[in-house]
Amino acid sequence: MAVRIDDQNLIFYLETEHTSYIMQVVKGKYLCHLYWGKKLTKIYPERLLSFHGLCCSANPDETDKTYTLDLLPQEYPTQGAADYRRAALETEYADGSILTELFYESYRVIKGKPLLKELPATYAEEGDDVWTLEITCADRRTGLEVKLSYSVFSQMDVLTRSVCIINRSSARVVLNKAYSASVDFNSDSFDMLTLNGAWGRERYPERVKLRRGNQTIGSVRGASSHQENPFIALLREDTTEKTGDAYGFSFVYSGNFIAGVEVDQSAASRAYMGIHEDLFQWNLEPGSCFQTPETVMVYTDRGLGELSRIYHRIYRRRLCRGKYRDAGRPVLVNNWEGTYFDFNQKKILAIADKAAELGIEMLVLDDGWFGKRDDDTSSLGDWYADQRKLPDGITGLAKAVHLRGLKFGLWFEPEMISKDSNLYRQHPDWCIHVPGREPMECRNQMVLDLSRGEVCSYVIDAVSQILDSAGIDYVKWDMNRHITEYYSAGRGSSGQSELCHRYMLGLYHVMDEIISGHPDVLFESCSSGGGRFDPGMLYYMPQIWTSDDTDAAERVYIQYGTSYAYPFCTMGAHVSTVPNHQVHRVTPWKTRGDVAMTGAFGYELDLTGLTAMETNVVKKQVQRYKRLRMWLPAADLYRLENPFCGNYGAWMFVSESGNQCLVNCIRMMERANMPEKRIFLQGLKEGCSYRCVETGNCYSAEELMYAGLRVSEDGENPDMRGDFVSFTWSFEKMMKRKIRRTNE
């Protein structure tokens, strides 16, 4: 079983196929961390837990002066109890005190994995080898109870953590901080990997050596943000893509977060992750509980590449849900970069006609279809069709698109409101703003207060009415500004510090109601591109628009960085026109197609302007993607060449059966007299042979992985000169044939 307990010594073993996570109750009180790493078959706990007393350290046990909480590796450290390192829990009681002393009380083991109340989380299905350990600790003097939940996905090598905090007293308790996970390591010999960026430049990996003190990332923007991503990895200094220890922490939450590591006086490291304590305070009333979001933790000794593949598997199979979780996604065309706001029904149907000719399967109508939306200054919140542009309404347009054999999708921005809108004129207090101050706009819009039930109900009803009446097949759910001026007109002065988290709970409720009521609709999340690319969104929507930057060269970096935590099949990726609208770069059609084709594939341009040659190229790209999507979404990813470290970006996919393989390589810049470039494949079955579909050449797995493949060996790209050139190979494993011998 994945959870074992030594009741005599109160030692808890959480075991996956390849890893162990071990805890012990020390001194009969404190739940301490002993080990997390490669699976151990036998341990001696006294050798795993070591500490020594320091001058000026408080000693909670008067009989043992070497014992101090300031060095003890606690599973859930609290503020004010002589541990001066970063606490996971900070409280304030009715008498003004802040001290919480959590002592172990009990445990229980649960088959499977309970759902988290009102929050997204990974889940178990019937037949999964998943077990949950719930450990209860309490401060009986204050009446605070803390339930630490650990769920073990044994076959996936995944451990998840979350915390439920219960007020058993008769007075309010204020939570000033409530993290989801804290893990102590007895070493500081790590690098920390984070995914940082900006709008149009999301999730660039940064790897830095740990130093003394705190190193943190986070967001207080009301969303996980373009600037930081709720993911960190701790890597041994010699860890590479293929070898070495790697520890991952990923936060299943879409709002304000913090993650980081503190290196202390004894060169030990404490990793932590949770809701950001800035702009957070929670009034925990008597008898009520507070549930933290989930942290998904992964360890492997097989390098950063295997860490990513484990995250990809758990998120594809046990975080994403619904009809499209395991299905290939339809090829779509979105009109945004093709027309922006300047369109009418005739233009959209002309694009639909061309899409049908090309084999594209869905047309998505983006911003500008509702209210009187001729630019971004009005109408958000007025979710009804603009009859000037669409005389037959959304229902008529959807019917016309369906008659052409296409699915029909629609853009919404349900969380926002424009000052120039009927909704704002009727309910000016529904936006997040401070009374008496002029509301601040960003992109000419404000944020609806989803901490209020009546606002959530309006959004659910307005969006559902369109989906129900028009037969919508796809929704692009956008969010184009972050929260400022934190104040809710629906809450009193003592509840304003709860706004950010209550907003997220309201948003999750809205999405859950709309999505569960429309199970056949494919939903894609978006936030000015990749500003909310996080596991919380993937629980509701199986794909996310990766970035508003559609330039193929930029997308090499963005999608490569995103792949450290998220599978390619969750990345919305489109071919757009050139010169590109964001960076004005010109890249070849093949490169644009190859880069986009590894994600949720589509086009972001005006199809009616294609030349005869371009029409032929698009037809072939669509046909190729339809073949690839039969196996590519469930394939394992191997990163081969890091574009952040050289002139090439290369990656490959190996199907679940191991019988198919796709290799992509992008040369970023052409240079004179360039040396021969070889890339070394991974993940193939040794002893097998593979045939290149494009060239017909046959290779052994060992040759491809250890001797390498020359980049110039490409039968699909006759012009191999120039910048941003894409090379692709498709391989099929050659089946061994039985030879029948006969005697002559």
Calpha distance 159→154 (Å, rounded)? 8
111 touches 295 (CB < 8 A): no
Distances (CA, A) of 739 to 16, 326, 511, 643, 698: 42, 38, 58, 46, 20
**Other Cβ atoms closer than 10 A to 629:** 18
Answer yes or no: 382 catalytic.
Answer: no
Complete DSSP assignment for 683-695: S--TT-EEEETTT
Residue carrying structure tokens 């959807």: 398
Structure tokens belonging to residue 125: 């299905």
Spatial CB neighbours of 281, under 8 Å, sequence gap ≥ 6: 174, 175, 176, 497, 498
Calpha distance 110→3 (Å, rounded)? 9
Q: How many residues does the chain have?
A: 744
Give the active site residue among 366, 382, 386, 548: 548
DSSP 8-state code for residue 378: B
Q: Per-residue b/e over 4-19, b at no fewer than 16 CB within 10 Å?
A: eeeeeebbbbbbbebb
* Among the listed residues 611, 613, 625, the one whose alpha carbon sits nearest the alpha carbon of residue 360: 625
Structure tokens belonging to residue 570: 């969750």
193 touches 207 (CB < 8 A): yes
449 half-sphere exposure, CB direction, 13 A CA radius = 24
DSSP 8-state code for residue 177: E
Spatial CB neighbours of 527, under 8 Å, sequence gap ≥ 6: 223, 226, 478, 479, 480, 533
**Other Cβ atoms closer than 10 A to 443:** 14
Calpha distance 449→469 (Å, rounded)? 26
Vertex 97: Cα angle to 96 and 98 (nearest 5) = 120
Peptide bond into 579 cis (omega under 30): yes
* Among the listed residues 153, 198, 166, the one whose alpha carbon sits nearest the alpha carbon of residue 3: 153
**H helix runs in 524-644, sequence order:** 535-540, 552-562, 589-597, 612-628
Vertex 627: Cα angle to 623 and 631 (nearest 5) = 155
Gyration radius from the chain CA atoms: 27
Answer yes or no: 520 catalytic.
Answer: no
**Other Cβ atoms closer than 10 A to 136:** 17
Q: To which H or E segment does residue 281 belong?
A: none
Cα 438 versus chain centre, distance? 35
Residue carrying structure tokens 């939903």: 523
Q: Per-residue b/e over 569-592, b at no fewer than 16 CB within 10 Å?
A: bbbbbbbbbbebbbeeeebbbbbb
Calpha distance 742→258 (Å, rounded)? 71
Structure tokens belonging to residue 719: 């012009």
Calpha distance 410→456 (Å, rounded)? 20
* Among the listed residues 422, 432, 436, the one whose alpha carbon sits nearest the alpha carbon of residue 489: 432
DSSP 8-state code for residue 244: B
Calpha distance 385→13 (Å, rounded)? 58
Give the active site residue among 245, 449, 478, 549: 478
Calpha distance 560→580 (Å, rounded)? 20
- Catalytic annotation, residues: 478, 548
